[in-house]
């Protein structure tokens, strides 16, 4: 299969490297940065650079741009994809991307599937891409009422072939609700965490818990601003929820209510244990 990747950032670059390492497919790439293309060819992450006009030779196009960029790219190049081919994306919000892209491409006989490879790093760009980023990751596919099951099978099997550990099939709406909690809230909380006046004194006073809680505060603010605003309602709900929970702990400590505090902590421990037992991360 001939695969085109649009955007060789951390995710696009890592997908290219994983495909070249784990499959026999050819990889072609479009990127506005010539240095990135040069570097990708040199590292054998891609076979060749192509132009948008050459997308017509590709069976699958993976668009690895920011959310707005994906819809824009699809709109501007809708007539250039091969008829009957598949276009997927890799961004972290699905409702705002999947329906517009699906609608645009339907008229051109091109099948769109909104996807989300669940991995990342606290660095951006091709220079940080690695061929094993997805080895322990799940690959989320979002189905709409128009999605043919055969399309899910083709893309899902490719994800396993690329090296993903698990394929999860969801809907754009369900994906966005859950991701608000598992990923977006984590970045907000981490970013808020480091703003304490105590931050500048933490050296030598921190162990694993501080490191874990603050790791993802080192984020790409352009990308995350876009992701957060495109998933406003579920994310605002999650932030409100954690604020309410934090207030419960604060009240129990302020009133020195040991029984209440212990119960709050015990409930949290039990929920974490359940989540460990239910989860991939086990």
Query: Minimum distance from CB of 29 to a copy of itself (Å)?
Result: 24
Per CB under 8 A, contacts with a copy of itself among 176-205 are 177-183, 185-205
- 148 lies in the site for a copy of itself, by CB under 8 A: no
Contacts of a copy of itself in 158-177 (CB under 8 A): 166, 168, 170, 174-175, 177
From the list 105, 179, 106, 109, the residue with the least C-alpha distance to 138 is: 179
Q: Should residue 137 be labelled a site residue for a copy of itself when binding is judged by CB under 8 A?
A: yes
Q: What are phi and psi of 134, to 5 degrees?
A: -105, 5
- Among 59-67, 102-110, 117-125, 152-160, which window interacts with a copy of itself (CB under 8 A)? 117-125
Using CA atoms, how far apart are residues 72 and 221, in angstroms rounded to an integer?
20
Question: Which string of b and e fits 97-135 if b means at least 16 CB within 10 Å?
Answer: bbbbbbebbeebebbbbbbbbbbbeeebebeebebebbe
What are the Cα distances from residue 233, in Å, to 115, 132, 220, 225, 239? 21, 33, 21, 14, 10
Piece of 42-50, 74-82, 155-163, 214-222 that binds a copy of itself (CB under 8 A): 214-222
Q: How far is the CB of 96 from a copy of itself (least distance, A)?
A: 13
Instruction: Output the smallest distance, CB 273 to a copy of itself, in A.
Output: 6
* Rounded Cα distance, 85 and 263, in Å: 55
What is the rounded distance in angstroms from the CA atom of residue 31 to the CA atom of residue 12?
10
Could you say whether residue 21 binds a copy of itself (CB under 8 A)?
no
Should residue 206 be labelled a site residue for a copy of itself when binding is judged by CB under 8 A?
Answer: yes
C-alpha distances in angstroms, 60 versus 92, 126, 177, 261? 20, 21, 28, 53
Binding string, residues 79-108; x marks residues near a copy of itself by CB under 8 A: ------------------------------
Note whether 72 binds a copy of itself by CB under 8 A: no
Is 2 near a copy of itself (CB under 8 A)?
no
How far apart are the C-alpha atoms of 91 and 20, rounded to whole Å?
21
Please pick, from the candidates 23, 26, 124, 138, the single residue that binds a copy of itself as defined by CB under 8 A: 138
- Check binding of 210 to a copy of itself (CB under 8 A): yes
Report 219-258 residues binding a copy of itself (CB under 8 A): 219, 221-222, 224-225, 228-229, 232, 235-236, 238-243, 245-250, 253-254, 256, 258
**Position 118 contacts a copy of itself (CB under 8 A):** yes
Residue 230 CB, shortest distance to a copy of itself, in Å, is 10
130 binds a copy of itself per the rule CB under 8 A? no
Yes or no: say if 128 and 157 are a contact pair by the CB < 8 Å rule. Answer: no
Nearer Cβ to a copy of itself (77/220)? 220
Phi, psi of 227 (to 5 degrees): -60, -45
**What is the side-by-side order of every strand in the sheet holding 26-30?**
48-49, 26-30, 2-6, 60-63, 86-89, 111-117, 138-142, 166-170
Rank residues 51 and 205 by Cβ distance to a copy of itself and give the closer one: 205
């Amino acid at each position: 299969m001939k695969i085109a990747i649009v955007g060789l950032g951390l995710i696009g670059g890592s997908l290219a490297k994983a495909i070249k390492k784990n499959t026999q497919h050819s990889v072609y790439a479009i990127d506005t940065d010539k240095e990135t293309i040069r570097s990708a060819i040199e590292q054998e992450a891609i076979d060749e650079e192509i132009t948008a006009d050459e997308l017509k030779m590709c069976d699958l196009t993976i668009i690895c741009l920011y959310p707005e960029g994906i819809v824009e790219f699809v709109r501007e190049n809708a007539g250039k994809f091969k008829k009957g081919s598949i276009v997927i994306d890799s961004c972290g919000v699905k409702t705002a991307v999947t329906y517009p892209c699906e609608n645009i491409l339907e008229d051109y006989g091109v099948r769109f599937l909104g996807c989300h490879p669940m991995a990342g790093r606290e660095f951006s760009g091709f220079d940080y891409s690695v061929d094993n980023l997805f080895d322990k990751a799940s690959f989320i596919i979002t189905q709409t009422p128009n999605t043919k099951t055969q399309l899910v099978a083709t893309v899902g099997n490719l994800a396993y072939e690329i090296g993903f550990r698990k394929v999860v099939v969801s809907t754009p709406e369900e994906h966005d609700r859950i991701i608000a909690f598992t990923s977006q809230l984590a970045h907000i909380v981490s970013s808020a965490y480091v703003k304490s006046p105590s931050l500048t004194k933490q050296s030598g006073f921190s162990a694993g818990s501080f490191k874990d809680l603050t790791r993802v505060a080192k984020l790409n603010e352009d990308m995350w601003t876009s992701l957060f605003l495109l998933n406003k309602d579920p994310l605002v709900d999650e932030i409100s929820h954690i604020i309410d929970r934090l207030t419960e702990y604060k009240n129990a400590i302020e009133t020195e209510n040991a029984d209440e505090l212990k119960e709050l902590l015990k409930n949290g421990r039990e929920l974490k244990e359940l989540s460990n037992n239910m989860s991939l991360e086990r």
